[in-house]
Every structure is written in structure tokens, then in C-alpha cells.
Amino acid sequence: MPDIPSRPASFLVTLNPDHIATLSDPAVTLQDVAATITSQAGSLRVMADGPADDPVIEMLRVAADDPHTLLVTLSDDDRAALAARYGDAIVIEPDIELDLFDTVFAPSAMSPLNFFAAAEGELVIDVTLTGRDGTPVPRAEVTVQGSQIYGIAQAVTDARGKARLTLYGETPDSLREIKVKPSAGYWGLIIKRPDLTGVPVTRKVAQLALTLTPISLHNGETDVWGYLAMQLDKPTPAAQPVRIAVIDSGLSASHDDLNPAGGHDFTNRGDPANAWRDDLSGHGTHVAGTCAARFDGHGICGAAGPEAQVYGLSVFPGGRASSLISALDWCVTHQIDVVNMSLGSAQGTNALHQAVIRATAAGITLVAAAGNAARPVMFPAAYPEVIAVAAIGKTGSFPATSPEAAHIGAHRAGDFFSAAFTCFGPEIDVAGPGVAVISAVPSATNKDYAVMSGTSMASPYVAGFVARLLATRPDLQALPRGQGRVQAVKSALRACCIDIGLPRPYQGHGLPVWGDVAPAEEGLVAQLRAVSDALARALA
């Protein structure tokens, strides 16, 4: 037996929808399960997260409804006892961790130091980053990759645009790659097999100066490749406000290009009514900008159009299935129309799927990023109720020396290509621009923009497109909120897609294109309403 026991862990407990109660095994409620847990030993207490007498049961519910899920902290023994007590009447699942799907060029973890390298084997490189006008570039991540198993070094530039990197067991001739990721304002840079022959050396330190290409947004708000590829610059009919929730890391509410209508924090990092306004990673701000940036004459335009009302729901840092479930419940309570989820996990849960089903039944159209693992579609995008979005790119939309060049996948059709990182499969509904996407990021000036790539970037383009459809189609708005309305929105989205020539698992129905989107014919409106009414009666 190990000297150090395992800590209790968080689990989601739901009722098994396939369980059949009998006279000898009557129906179970979550209140029954909660009472059983409460009556058990004091080991069922939060250990690391609070005082010993804190409760370990949180009941997740929509408004004042009965709880649909229990979030509990259980030891291994307690979990086994609970499972034995209720059998297949309940489902006990780990409260899985979620990822943000922009990891294709996110800061990576530092590799361990190679303790076997001799001290004289050090290779020290001082990097200075500037723009073309000589302005220092601060807060840029610089990574140098060598040939050794631990031959990697990372650093972030200071206010002077300078960073020092030290590698062990490497020489200038063994370096494989230098990569630069600016925080805002510039394109990244990647140099394969860098030649340091002409680099000045001062006191055995190589002095490397690199010049970055600035991001240009001087040709109008719509001069962004994804926006133009989806023809979102074409005239839009009169629109009604549509509510969009971005479930992410929050958003920078003070950014000039964002005007959020509200939000909520589900991370317990502060006041839930306000903490969502502080985006610690920049991911949520970038996603929200793509989806719903203001039409104010500068920066970019959001795919949703000028009438969009965006809400920031923060489940990161520390995102888990339980926080995503709570965020979806919030969307039901607040009658959100469209939800974007640029996040997920390789593993699904019954509790999360039930939350997705509840949101769909409430008339919310859910859009999610497929994932960046170049493997089958991840969750929640893999659920049939969710619009799963794969990422595509376009040649010529980024500098050839930028890291985005590495995202060109094996499947190409004209100028379009499937992103090398995108998840794929029969679950993919549509494709969206997800390589070299320029959008808003937090900054001291509240005016900065940055390049990101990922299915995280493709999903808000589609979510915004769906919101624009809802905003400009009175026939869709007239449908009662429910599953029928969601199905009608999905049908309208598919009707706007064009086949761009990529394999079906990588593009689904294709790329949504605005073009001349017209309201549905009167006869179709009546059919959609009939379908919606029938579904409502069936679900009643």
C-alpha cells in the first residue's frame, strides 16, 4: 500500500435514463442520492479546496427546477460504495477537464533541464524582437528547438523586446527551429534550420535580431480573409437582436471592438457577475471578436452582424464539465439564442450530454469546435445536437514565414486547405476559417489584435453566421423556442453551405456563405412550424 493515499476527486452523478425501476427496486431521485452521501462518513468533505466542514455536494439545476446533476467529492472507497448502493440507477462520471482549442501554437510546457549536459555545452542566445519601424516587441514568446531530447528553451521578451534562451548540449549547427509568437500586433515567425553563421557573438552569447511583420487592419473592418470567404461583407437585411453566449475564458469587456450585453463567471475566481470581464488567457476575447465585434469603423466586424448581443461566460481557467453544464443551464434560464463553445475534451459524459439536450430543447442552437488533435471529433462537438465545426485555411492569407504555414493540411482544393490540426469525421457539419484568424485580444490600450489558429477560431465564425441567420430571418424567429426551431436553423445553415472540394469528413456540408440569403418561402414556414409543434407535443 502506498505511503501517500489518493486525494478525493470530483464526480458528476446523474440518473441513468435507461434504468427501469421495479417494485423491488423503486425509482431513485437525486435527492435520495444526496441524502445517502450526506449520511456517509466525514471523509466526504472537501479537502484541498476548503475547510473540513464544507459540503461536498453541489446540486446543478436550471433556475428553481429539481437538480439534474450532483457535483460531489468522493474518495475511491466512497465512490465504490455509492455505485454498489444504487447500481445502474445512477451514472457516476469524473468531472472531466476541458481544453481550449487553440493549442496549435499556444505556449508549451518547458522541457526538463538536461542534467547530463556538461556546463561547457551551453548555447546562449539573446534575441531582440522589433517591428519594421524599429519598435521593440514585448511579451512575445520565443522558442528555440535543438536536436537533443531536452534541447528546447523558451522565454518571453521584456519591454525592450529582449529575451535570453539557454540550451544544453546544442551547437549553432544543431538547431532545428526558432519560433516566435507575439502577444498582439504582429505575425508570428518560424525559421527552420536557422543559420547563425553571421550572427554577432558577444562574450559567448549569440546576439540574434529578428524583425516581425505587423498585422494590417488599415483596409477596412471587413478586410479579413475569413469574413470575405463567407461573403459576410454583402448587404444584410433588417435584423432583430439575437443573444449569443461565448462560453470560454471570459472576454475583455473594455476592448474597443466589444460591447458585451452581460455575462457570468463559473470559475469561482471572484464576483460571478463581474469576473467574466477579465480574460486571463485572451482566448475568449479573440473568439468573441470573431463572432460579435462591433461595426464601429475600426478593427474588425463580427460574423453575427451589427445587431448581435454577446454574453461572456467564463469557465476557464480550470474549466471542467461541471462548469460547462452550469454555463449551459445559465443560457437556458436567460433565453440565449446561439452558444459558441471553442473548447472540449476527448471524453464525453452523460451529464454533459443531458445538458446539451436540455439546451437544445430550450431552442438554443449550439456550435462547437471539433478539436485540434487531428483525430476524431471531440466533445461536445461530437454530440448530434451540436453543430461541429472543422477548421480550414486559405493560401495567401498569411506570410510564408509565419507558423501558420505549418497548418496546411494534406487535403487541398484551390486556395482552400483543411487545417493540419483539425479533428475530422462524420460528425462534422460545416467548415469555418480557422487558420491565421485576426481578432481582438486584451491589452492595456484596449485596441490590440492578434493572430490565432485553431478550430476555436473557426467555430465563432459559424456561430456568428447562425446568429445572423436568426437575426435576419423572421420565419425562423417566429418559430417557438424548442428543438424544432433548432432543426430549422440547422437546415437554413446547410442551405447556405457551398462545397469547397474538401473530403466530407473535413468540411461536412461545406463552408457557409452569406451571399443573397432570402427568407424561406411561405409554404416552408408553415412546414417548419408544423414540425416544431409536433416535436413540442412529443416532448411534452
Q: Which residues are catalytic?
A: 248, 283, 456
Task: Write the burial class of residue 408 (CB in 10 Å: 0-12 exposed, 13-18 middle, 19+ buried).
Answer: middle
* Separation of first and last alpha carbons in the chain: 53
DSSP 437: E
Cite the beta strand spans of 283-427 per DSSP E.
308-314, 338-341, 343-344, 365-369, 387-394, 408-413, 416-419
- How far apart are alpha carbons 208 and 198 in whole angstroms? 10
- How far apart are alpha carbons 288 and 244 in whole angstroms? 9
Q: Which residues contact 248 (CB under 8 A, 6 or more apart)?
A: 100, 283, 284, 287, 288, 312, 313, 314, 315, 316, 340, 341, 342, 343
Is 254 in contact with 313 (CB distance < 8 Å)?
A: no
- How far apart are alpha carbons 234 and 514 in whole angstroms? 7
Is 373 in contact with 422 (CB distance < 8 Å)?
A: no
- How far apart are alpha carbons 383 and 504 in whole angstroms? 18
Query: Which is it for the CA torsion 228, 231, 237, 238, positive or negative?
Result: negative
DSSP codes, 16-65: -TT----SSS----HHHHHHHHHHS-TTSS-SSSS-TTS--EEEE-STTS
β-strand 189-192 against 449-452: which pairing, if any? unpaired
**Cell 455575462 belongs to which residue?**
263
Instruction: Produce one character per residue of 240-255: b if its CB has 16 or more CB atoms within 10 Å, e if not.
Output: eebbbbbbbbbbbbeb
